[in-house]
């Protein structure tokens, strides 16, 4: 194996991610439960993260996720015309006041859910996608299990309190749902809307997430409130290429909710940053190919996603590329050729595969024979020239 070491000064002095911050690291949250995490699930702070609590309208994260997945899979279209049932029209709380038999596009209903937290729109969408609200709730619970949510039970698609039944989930589970929803970037086109309208402009929508105007970089996702659940939110903000998810459940009031979310996000952006696997302008080089139709194969990272680092007093990162001395043809694109290793103060903090960027076919027997013949002729001419 050949090794290439690069030591890079890191402007913001990066350190590897440590264990999640304790509650004391931020001061005690007034929320009953809180989590700060990256969109790929790295937890930076947690407090009672696995306590099952009512999430109120933050429930609609799963409703929006199943909607986005249905559209992406071709099982539904944003242009679908949805007819409101009597059941959807009877929903209370936040709503767009659907009438039984009223028709609206799935696009407008999704916007109403994301922006105005419309409970009637959530039920109408559920019935449209699954045939009934109960069938949709079954899908919600099944999808939660697929995502690894262990403390979640949905009873409806909107989070309203019902007689004898109550949706329960955890802040940790809501981070999982939020992260999965963020895989559908189009949802941010809805959750970042401040004001809009439906019914051809006749009914106005104003976002329930006031943090969109209060916090720099806020792009969504979903607020919630009932007298039972208290004030809740799954908030997503992004700065300098880094996206963070902050979830709180059971806040006593809106101000506490906003202050705790602000404190968590400020903590994340102030103490963490992203480091690229390779230096700017650096590539992975190439590896010689034996019996290949070309002499070498270009190498590239299998995953070039940056690594989250904790800002601290370190001065350097060391990047090491470990490549195979050679490979034999045929080589398929994606074949592992080595590894890229990041170390800080001698401690490994990340390791990524380096793979072939292209296919390289193996030479046929005729090509090998021609090369051998050419080599022998050249040797013969060289030998003859030595005695001429």
Tokens 């000064």 — which residue?
9
**Residue range 163-183: mean pLDDT, rounded:** 94
pLDDT in tens, 152-163: 999 999 999 877
First to last CA, the chain: 44
Q: What is the pLDDT of residue 346?
A: 79
More confident residue, 53 or 26: 53
**Residue range 55-66: mean pLDDT, rounded:** 97
pLDDT in tens, 203-220: 999 999 999 999 999 999
CA angle 170, 173, 178 (to 5 degrees): 125
Weakest mean pLDDT among 33-37, 48-52, 365-369: 365-369
Which residue among the candidates 57, 85, 112, 178 is catalytic per the annotation? 57
Q: What is the pLDDT of residue 276?
A: 81
Longest dimension (CA), the chain: 106
More confident residue, 306 or 129: 129
**175 pLDDT tier (thresholds 50, 70, 90):** very high
pLDDT in tens, 357-385: 999 888 766 665 565 666 556 666 655 55
pTM greater than the 0.85 cutoff: no
Cα separation, 154 vs 175, whole angstroms: 16
**Burial letters for 92-114: b for 16+ Cβ neighbours within 10 Å, e otherwise?**
ebbbbebeeebebebbbbbbbbb
E strands, 228-365, are: 230-239, 242-251, 272-275, 286-290, 296-301, 307-311, 316-323, 327-328, 336-344, 347-356
Q: What is the pLDDT of residue 362?
A: 85
Q: What is the pLDDT of residue 15?
A: 36
Which residue among the candidates 33, 85, 94, 117 is catalytic per the annotation? 117
pLDDT in tens, 318-345: 888 899 999 988 999 999 999 999 887 7
Determine whether 227 is an active site residue: no
pLDDT at 7 over 70: no
Q: What is the pLDDT of residue 24?
A: 42
Q: What is the pLDDT of residue 280?
A: 80
Cα separation, 201 vs 196, whole angstroms: 8
Q: Considering the chain, what percentage of its residues have pLDDT values greater than 90? A: 66
Determine whether 57 is an active site residue: yes
Q: What is the pLDDT of residue 212?
A: 95
pLDDT in tens, 68-124: 999 999 999 999 999 999 999 999 899 999 999 999 999 999 999 999 999 999 999
Q: Considering the chain, what percentage of its residues have pLDDT values greater than 70? A: 86
Per the CB < 8 A criterion, the answer to whether 112 and 63 are in contact is: no
Which residue among the candidates 32, 33, 60, 112 is catalytic per the annotation? 60
Per the CB < 8 A criterion, the answer to whether 207 and 185 are in contact is: no
pLDDT at 23 over 90: no
pLDDT at 317 over 90: no
């Amino acid at each position: 194996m050949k090794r290439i070491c690069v030591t890079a000064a890191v402007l913001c002095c990066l350190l590897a991610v440590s264990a999640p911050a304790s509650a004391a690291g931020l001061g005690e949250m007034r929320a009953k439960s809180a989590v700060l995490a990256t969109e790929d699930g790295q937890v930076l702070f947690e407090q009672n993260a696995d306590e099952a609590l009512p999430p109120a309208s933050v429930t609609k994260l799963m409703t929006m996720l199943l909607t986005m997945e249905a559209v992406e899979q071709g099982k539904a279209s944003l242009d679908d015309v949805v007819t409101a049932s009597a059941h959807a029209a009877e929903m209370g709380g936040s709503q767009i006041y659907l009438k039984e038999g009223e028709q609206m596009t799935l696009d407008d209903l999704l916007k109403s859910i994301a922006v105005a937290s419309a409970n009637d729109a959530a039920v109408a969408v559920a019935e449209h996608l699954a045939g009934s609200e109960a069938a949709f709730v079954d899908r919600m619970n099944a999808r939660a299990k697929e995502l690894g949510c262990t403390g979640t039970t949905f009873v409806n698609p909107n989070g309203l309190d019902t007689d004898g039944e109550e949706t329960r989930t955890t802040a940790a589970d809501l981070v999982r749902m939020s992260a999965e929803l963020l895989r559908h970037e189009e949802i941010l086109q809805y959750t970042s809307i401040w004001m809009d309208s439906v019914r051809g402009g006749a009914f106005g929508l104003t976002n329930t997430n006031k943090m969109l105007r209060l916090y720099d970089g806020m792009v969504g996702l979903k607020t919630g409130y009932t007298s039972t659940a208290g004030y809740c939110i799954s908030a997503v903000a992004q700065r300098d290429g880094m996206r963070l998810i902050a979830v709180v459940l059971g806040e006593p009031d809106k101000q506490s909710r906003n202050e705790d979310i602000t404190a968590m996000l400020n903590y994340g952006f102030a103490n963490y940053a992203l480091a690229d696997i390779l230096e700017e302008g650096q590539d992975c080089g190439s590896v010689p190919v034996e019996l290949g139709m070309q002499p070498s194969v270009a190498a590239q990272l299998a995953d070039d996603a940056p690594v989250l680092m904790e800002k601290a007093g370190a001065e350097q990162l060391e990047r090491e590329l470990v490549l195979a001395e050679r490979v034999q043809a045929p080589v398929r694109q994606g074949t592992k050729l080595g590894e890229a290793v990041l170390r800080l103060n001698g401690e490994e903090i990340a390791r990524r595969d380096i793979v072939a960027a292209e296919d390289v076919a193996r030479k046929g027997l005729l090509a090998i024979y021609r090369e051998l013949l050419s080599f022998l002729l050249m040797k013969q001419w060289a030998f003859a020239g030595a005695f001429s």
